[in-house]
Structure 1
Amino acid sequence: MNIRNSIAALFAAATIAATPAGAETYPDRAVEFIVPWSPGGGSDTLMRLVANNIAPFLGVETPIINMPGVGGTVGLREASRRAADGYTISLVHEGLLVASETGITDLTWDDFDPVALMTASPQYLVASINKNYSTFEEFVTYAQANPGTITMGVTLGGVPHLHAAMIEQAFGLEFKYVGYEGTGERIRALIGNNLDVAIGDISSSKQFADNGDLTFLAVGSSERMAATPDVPTFKELGKDLELNVTRGIVMPKGSPQEARDSMEAALEALSKDQTYIEQTKGAGADVLFRGQDAYSAYLGSLDATVKSLSSVLAQ
């Protein structure tokens, strides 16, 4: 190699070394997507819609790896241990914050880099048909006059328990909690008049509300839902409550900013894709995009709420 070629080679090598890794090439291979829940559930279904539709916007595939166990914390533990290189993403929802506060795991949302919130499934306060109340205002009046007698169906120590406790705190109520494993069980108990109220959602409850077997008292969305236009939001009812099961994408802590920015941009573009929006609605959720800063702020605010309700969630 002559001197001129040697100098050119050294210059090229120095240029490559000075260029941040991944600044222009990320992603150059598939990004593994750890879903810490079993196949077929709500989180798995909604995240598969992300994985199945994101390639045109990201440029690579995002194969899903299901790692269920201990309320989603097994998969998240594995995700937190992966190399922080941008090639692992995972799913977080409110369950992690509750599991952290109740001692199920020492992981917190701040052990990850939030990239984007993608979907929200608004939760409803659902009531059995009864003589004491048929609106939320009547419910509050009755519950305040009869503290500790309203039976509330939740998943104890889970997100429904958190949402019910938020209602208690906001309106000065006191419920008698009854634990059920899943939403379907709670709704069946309502229909059978074994509960007074429960935390439910559209997919589990709307058909029974349409049939007159149940009634929606309020919804935790920021605006009234198109599917239930007559059901008021908690904000309309005087309290700034958001009761959602949200699902967002995170990376291991310390992942490159370039990777986070590229993934955020791809997810934002996906959130505007009509096919993806319709598929998400068909799965019982709404697309609700929030980028890195807004998603981190949401998680931080919700974490403070969870901490303020720790004594209730531990019961």
Structure 2
Amino acid sequence: MMSFLSPQYSSTRYSQCLKVALGGLVLGTALTSSAVVLAQEGGYPEEPVEFIVPWSPGGGSDTLMRIVSNHAEPYLGQPMPVINMPGVSGTTGLKELTQREPDGYTVGQIHEGLLVAHHTQLTQLNWDDFKPVAAMVASAQYWTVNADSPWQSFDEFVSYAKDHPGEVRVGVTLGGIPHVHAAMIEDAENLSFRYVGFEGTGERIRSLVGGHIDAAIGDIASSGEFVKNDDLRFLAVGSDERQDETPDVPTFKELGYDSLSLNIVRGLVAPRETPDDRVEVLADAMQELSRDEDFTQAVQNAGAQVHYEDPEAFSDYLKTTNETVERLSGKLAK
């Protein structure tokens, strides 16, 4: 067989092959971000895309969405500056989003809290008042108890709760996502909890550490260090698979609860009339970002996991979750 560098191989042919190889390399590099290619072809985006985060600086949503913002530009082709608009349980900023031009130059962040706010009459807005762009991150939620409690497993906890209806003190944000998750557990086993309301996750977890409540919804960011220090114990996690940080903690699905998916999924939405082609550019950029190793590490360092879903999949998730929240809305008034 003739060697590529043999004397018989003409310099002309070598030059041609070299051009092809280099051209392929350039093409491969250009295609690393399909969103940028689409943006250049369509002229969108030609200016920064504002990102409304409807929560205060420093919270979980703000922290994680700033990670998205800080890593998005290479894939979108434009900056995505965060604009904090807190108020009324995350609904003030989303109301502002509905009033922005549907031109693809403003997006906002939502999670399941909007669905809860809607079904507790806090706002008329719901997920379908927007056009879903992409889910980006998920924070797995854990059923958490004090390490001094007698419950070494979730089954032991359930057995006790069944024998003592209305006695187990569960800390939640009343009318919030943790309340929904606790109500889902109540519903799955026909239990009855005594709810204790707290303003935020930190206050709730500190109360659990102090023994003032019996159980609560926690996550790695809020509770992981307390578990490491043997102050708290995780009994089960609401993700589809066991988490790398807690390999010994079973999932609810492993325990036979197929419907117990306890996650906080944060994603992007746009005004409802935003053109589909611009939503596609945004979604493609987010998909490329979700594969970025630095982005993935930053999200994990913040106690969450990358969880990309395209517009259709994210819409399906929001629709299904909305149905669950609506079904359990009666329990949220407890």
Q: TM-score if structure 2 supplies the norm length?
A: 0.86
* Residue 29 (structure 1) shift: 1.2
Unaligned 5+ segments in structure 1 are 1-21
Please list, as runs of the form range in 1=range in 2, the aligned pairs for 1:1-315 lying within 5 A after superposition: 24-130=42-148, 132-240=150-258, 241-315=260-334
* Residue 133 (structure 1) shift: 1.8
Deviates more, 1:199-208 or 1:147-156: 199-208
* Residue 131 (structure 1) shift: 5.2
Larger radius of gyration, structure 1 or 2? 2
* Residue 206 (structure 1) shift: 1.5
* Residue 129 (structure 1) shift: 2.9
SS in 1 for 2:47: coil
* Residue 42 (structure 1) shift: 1.0
Root-mean-square deviation (CA), in Å?
1.3
Q: Do 2:148 and 2:231's aligned partners in 1 also have CA atoms closer than 8 Å?
A: no
Q: Do 1:132 and 1:142's aligned partners in 2 also have CA atoms closer than 8 Å?
A: no
* Residue 180 (structure 1) shift: 0.8
SS in 2 for 1:54: helix
1:192-214 CA-partner distances (Å, limit 9, x unpaired) = 11111011111111211122211
Q: Do 2:55 and 2:85's aligned partners in 1 also have CA atoms closer than 8 Å?
A: yes
Q: Do 2:54 and 2:109's aligned partners in 1 also have CA atoms closer than 8 Å?
A: yes
1:31-57 CA-partner distances (Å, limit 9, x unpaired) = 111111111111111111111111111
Unaligned 5+ segments in structure 2 are 1-39
- The letter for the 2-side match of 1:255 is T
Q: Do 1:150 and 1:196's aligned partners in 2 also have CA atoms closer than 8 Å?
A: yes
Q: TM-score if structure 1 supplies the norm length?
A: 0.91
* Residue 254 (structure 1) shift: 1.2
The count of corresponding residues between Structure 1 and Structure 2 is 295
Q: Distance in 1 between matches of 2:138 and 2:274?
A: 25
* Residue 132 (structure 1) shift: 3.6
Q: Distance in 2 between matches of 1:205 and 1:32?
A: 32
SS in 2 for 1:51: helix
4+ residue segments displaced more than 6 Å = none
Q: Do 1:117 and 1:295's aligned partners in 2 also have CA atoms closer than 8 Å?
A: yes
Partner of 1:17: none
Q: Distance in 2 between matches of 1:213 and 1:130?
A: 8
1:9-66 CA-partner distances (Å, limit 9, x unpaired) = xxxxxxxxxxxxx971111111111111111111111111111111111111111111
Deviates more, 1:203-212 or 1:103-112: 203-212
